[in-house]
Amino acid sequence: MAGLAQRHRLWIRLIQVAGVLIMLTGVLFVLQSSFKPQIRCPQGPTAAKTQSKLWFNDGAWWGILFDGSSEEYHIYRYDGTKGAWSDTGTPVDGRNTSRADALWDGPHLYVVSAGTQASLKKDSAGFLRYTYDPSTERYSLDKGFPVTIAEGGTEAITLAKAATGQLWATYTRDIRDGELRRVYVTHTTGPDVSRWVEPFVPPLRGTTVSKDDVSSIVAFGSRIGLMWGNQYDESGKPGYYFAVHDDGEPDDSWRPDNPVMGASMVNDHINLKADSNGRIFAATKTRRDRIDRDLDAPYGVLWVRDREGTWTSHVFSKVGDFYTRSLVLIDESRNDLYIFATSPTCSGGEIYYKSTDLNDISFEDGRGTPFIQGAGGLKIGDATSTKQEFSRGMKPMVVASSTTGRYYYNLLDPRGGEKLFPRGAQITDAGF
């Protein structure tokens, strides 16, 4: 474990040095060109923005966290009586740099996990199915899993389950020596969820994107929704793209339904949720911090698509709030919607949250309420939680992490807005 921590610290130092060199190179280059180099921000083990690492089952919170002793990602359980997370010993992925997305649909837990290097076969995306046994409070990996569903690594792969039981996944993959990416989707065939179709690019415009862009997927009603950011478009139309696929229709049957276009309105930040009424909620981020910079300009924007397909936008942060990597959670039982985010942007800092009426969305100005802080000023970010809609008895749980591999969490009581811990708490049994 000490060796792993040392390697991660060395890697972080190398990234910092490389970042300075890249920034200096960009300064020299920008004198000769209008091109603006992309800014890469360090991330912790709770990345990435489109994914969910937690789920609620059998009266308890569960999560995919990194176990430093085995150097693997395992399933962890939160014990509310003890106020602590503990390792169940059930492995998920032995690759240190992998990123997983979890979907609970009892009695099964579905997971997709991949490394981040597109050129490496060992980073290929794997799909796993576990069955939960309430008598032992354990998850067992089902026979025949994991299965590889996409060759090579990706920044993030995301999972959704249609009303028919069909599972879908999406990701972006590097092309042209990593200069650009394409948006891909895949899905299961028939009742055997170990069988997936060959990943394909949906027949939609705007699916060639920048090397910084990601995609996400969500099930709503009898449809699948695919969303992706496009900061590069060959036809000169960057923006957030969205497309709808009706359950049971052919793979090439997609309808575009884009919420917003424009270079200043799109970034690589998407977090999707859907409610039982078929509404879609997308937490996004603009680029007004870099294009037409204005501290009072919209930065964090929640896009809502109603059942008729009409999009509306709701600003939850301005550029001056420095929000990033936002997470949206829905509690239909109380008509509440939550936004959790990191501030300041890029390098990390603290996790803040805001809440609003689900049916009358309006956010307060400013950063909101502090929710999780790292000990001793440690910068944290990459807030993650569940895909699930909240029901009575569920309290919003959020886990975040530092780039040095430390985990922090907090729990919110929606009845009075009280936090379990004033500043959050460290998960001492997990991390690098």
pLDDT tens digits, residue range 316-350? 999 999 999 999 999 999 999 999 999 998 878 99
pLDDT for the residue numbered 381: 96
Residue 124 half-sphere exposure, CB side, CA atoms within 13 Å? 12
The full set of domain ranges for the chain reads: 1-37, 38-431
- Provide the pairing of β-strand 138-141 with 418-419: unpaired
Residue 39 pLDDT: 53
What whole-number distance in Å separates Cα of residue 102 and Cα of residue 98?
13
Give SS3 for 375. helix
**Rounded Cα–Cα distance for residues 51 and 302 (Å):** 17
User: Any idea which of 145-149, 161-165, 212-216, 258-262 has the lowest mean pLDDT?
Assistant: 258-262
Between 306 and 13, name the one with better pLDDT. Answer: 306
Question: For residue 330, what are the β-bridge partners?
Answer: 337
Tokens of 132: 């939960």
* pLDDT at residue 31 in the model: 27
**3 state SS of 287:** coil
Alpha carbons 286 and 351: distance in angstroms, whole number:
19
Please check whether the domain covering 38-431 is classified as CATH 3.30.870.10: no
Q: Where are the beta strands (DSSP E) in 306-420?
A: 311-318, 324-331, 336-343, 350-357, 369-373, 381-384, 397-401, 406-413, 418-419
Backbone phi, psi, residue 375, to 5°: -65, 140
Q: Which pLDDT score is estimated for 26?
A: 36
Q: What is the pLDDT of residues 75-131, one digit of tens each?
A: 999 999 999 999 999 999 999 999 999 999 999 999 999 999 999 999 999 999 999
Task: Check residues 263 and 126 and name the one with the higher pLDDT.
Answer: 126
